[in-house]
C-alpha cells in the first residue's frame, strides 16, 4: 500500500492510498480519515460508497465529514467506484452510467467486464482486510453509507451482511435498480439478462426475499432531477413497511443531487451511525 497524500485535518489525518488489488486486477485508490485518538485505540468504521462518475476524491473534498468524525471518533473510508487503468473495459459509447466510474458494487459475470469489475469483492472482502491490517479499525463496529449508486451499494451490502453492518444510510439512493434505467443497464451489462441474478443486487428485491438490517436512514432531496425516474424511494418505503424494517426516510424540500445536499446532512448521518456503533 502506497501513501498518495496525507494531510492533517480536524486533529486527525486524511490519507489517500493506492494498492494493487487482486479483486479487480488493477491498482485501486481509496481515502481514509482517521480521527484523533489515543495510542492503541481501535475505532469504529463508517464506509462511504460514492455515486456515478465519482472517485474517492469527491466526498473527500466536498463531503464535510471530518469535523463530525473527529468529534465522534469515527474512521471514514471512501473507495473508488470502479476499476480503472489501461486495459479496463468501459462502456461501448463511453457513457457515464456504465463501466468506468460506474461499477455498481457487483461482481460482474459477463465478458469483457468479469475480469476487472469485481467491486462487491473489493469492497466487502479485500479492502476490509487491508483496512484492518493497516489502520486502527475496530472491525466489530462497522456501518455503511453511500450516495446514489453508492446508496444502492450501501443498502445492498448492508442488507446482505447484517452481522457486519449495524446500520446503513444513504443520500438519494438507487433503491430498486431492477426497476429503473440506470440499474437495468448496469445489471444487464455486468450480470446478464437473467433478472434472477439481479435480485441480490437490488435493495427492494433483497427485502422482498427476506433480507433484514437493524436500521436504515435515507435522505432524499425533493429537487433532485433523478428522483422520479431513477431513485424512487417510495419503493423502499413500501418494501420496508411490508417487512417491518426500521426505515427513516426524510424528503428534503429544495435539495438536489449534489454534494451541497450531501454535506448538509452528512453530520446527521454520522451521528445516527455513531449512536449505533
Residues 33-92 interacting with its own copies (rule: CB under 8 A) = 61-62, 64, 66-67
Nearer to its own copies (CB atom), residue 178 or residue 264:
264
Query: What is residue 114's DSSP assignment?
Result: T
SS3 call for 38: coil
Rounded to whole angstroms, the Cα distance separating 5 from 182 reads 33
- The site for its own copies, by CB under 8 A, has a size of 23
Specify the length of the chain in residues: 277
Contact with its own copies (CB under 8 A): which of 39, 94, 210, 254? 254
Q: Among positive and negative, which fits the CA dihedral 221, 164, 120, 126?
A: positive
**Residue 29 near residue 16 (C-beta atoms within 8 A):** yes
CA–CA gap between residue 174 and residue 172 (Å, rounded) = 7
In 3D space, the residue among 174, 222, 229 whose CA is nearest the CA of residue 201 turns out to be 174
Q: Which of residues 1, 2, 4, 11 is near its own copies by CB under 8 A? A: 11
Q: According to CB under 8 A, which residues from 212 to 231 bind its own copies?
A: 221, 223
Q: How far apart are CA 243 and CA 25, in angstroms?
A: 39
Decide if 224 is catalytic: yes
Strand segments, DSSP code E, in 148-246 are 165-171, 216-221
CA 73/CA 137 separation, integer angstroms: 11
SS3 category, 139: strand
| Smaller CB separation from its own copies, 29 or 168 | 29
Q: How far is the CB of 122 from its own copies (least distance, A)?
A: 26
Please say if 148 is a catalytic residue: yes
According to DSSP, residue 187 is labeled H
109: cis peptide before it, omega within 30°?
A: no
Output the smallest distance, CB 264 to its own copies, in A: 5
Told to check if 255 binds its own copies by CB under 8 A, we report yes
Out of 115, 132, 267, 268, the only residue in the binding site for its own copies (CB under 8 A) is 267
From the list 148, 219, 269, 273, the catalytic residue is 148
Position among 4, 9, 20, 275 found at the interface with its own copies (CB under 8 A): 9
Region binding its own copies by CB under 8 A among candidate stretches 113-121, 131-139, 177-185, 256-264: 256-264
Q: Which is nearer to its own copies, 226 or 261 (CB)?
A: 261
CB-wise, 10 or 135, nearer to its own copies? 10
Contact segment (CB under 8 A) with its own copies among 46-54, 133-141, 169-177, 260-268 equals 260-268
157 vs 262, beta carbon nearer its own copies: 262
Q: How many CA atoms lie within 13 A of 263 on its CB side?
A: 12
Which residue carries 460506474 as its cell? Answer: 102
Q: Which is closer to its own copies, CB of 234 or CB of 256?
A: 256
Which residues are marked as active site? Answer: 148, 224, 257
Contact positions vs its own copies (CB under 8 A): 7-11, 14, 61-62, 64, 66-67, 221, 223, 254-256, 258-261, 263-264, 267
Amino acid at each position: 500500500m502506497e501513501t498518495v497524500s496525507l494531510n492533517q485535518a480536524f486533529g486527525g489525518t486524511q490519507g489517500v492510498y493506492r494498492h494493487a488489488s487482486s479483486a479487480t486486477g488493477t491498482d485501486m485508490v481509496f481515502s481514509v480519515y482517521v480521527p484523533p485518538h489515543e495510542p492503541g485505540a481501535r475505532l469504529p468504521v463508517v464506509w462511504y460508497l460514492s455515486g456515478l462518475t465519482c472517485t474517492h476524491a469527491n466526498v473527500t473534498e466536498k463531503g464535510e465529514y471530518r469535523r463530525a468524525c473527529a468529534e465522534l471518533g469515527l474512521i471514514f473510508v471512501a473507495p473508488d467506484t470502479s476499476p480503472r487503468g489501461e486495459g479496463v473495459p468501459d462502456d461501448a459509447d463511453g457513457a457515464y452510467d456504465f463501466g468506468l466510474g460506474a461499477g455498481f458494487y457487483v461482481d460482474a459475470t459477463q465478458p469483457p467486464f468479469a475480469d476487472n469489475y469485481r467491486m462487491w469483492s473489493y469492497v466487502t472482502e479485500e479492502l476490509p482486510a487491508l483496512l484492518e491490517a493497516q489502520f486502527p479499525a475496530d472491525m466489530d463496529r462497522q456501518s455503511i453509507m453511500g450516495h446514489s449508486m453508492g446508496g444502492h451499494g450501501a443498502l445492498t451490502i448492508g442488507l446482505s451482511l447484517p452481522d457486519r453492518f449495524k446500520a446503513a444510510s444513504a443520500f438519494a439512493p438507487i433503491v430498486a435498480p431492477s426497476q429503473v434505467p440506470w440499474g437495468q443497464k448496469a445489471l444487464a451489462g455486468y450480470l446478464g439478462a437473467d433478472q434472477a441474478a439481479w435480485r441480490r443486487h437490488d435493495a427492494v428485491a433483497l427485502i422482498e426475499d427476506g433480507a433484514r438490517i437493524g436500521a436504515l436512514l435515507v435522505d432524499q432531496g425533493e429537487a433532485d432531477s433523478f428522483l422520479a425516474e431513477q431513485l424512487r424511494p417510495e419503493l423502499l418505503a413500501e418494501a420496508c413497511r411490508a417487512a417491518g424494517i426500521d426505515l427513516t426516510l426524510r424528503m428534503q424540500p429544495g435539495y438536489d443531487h449534489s454534494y451541497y445536499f450531501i454535506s448538509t446532512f452528512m453530520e446527521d448521518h454520522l451521528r445516527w451511525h455513531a449512536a449505533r456503533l
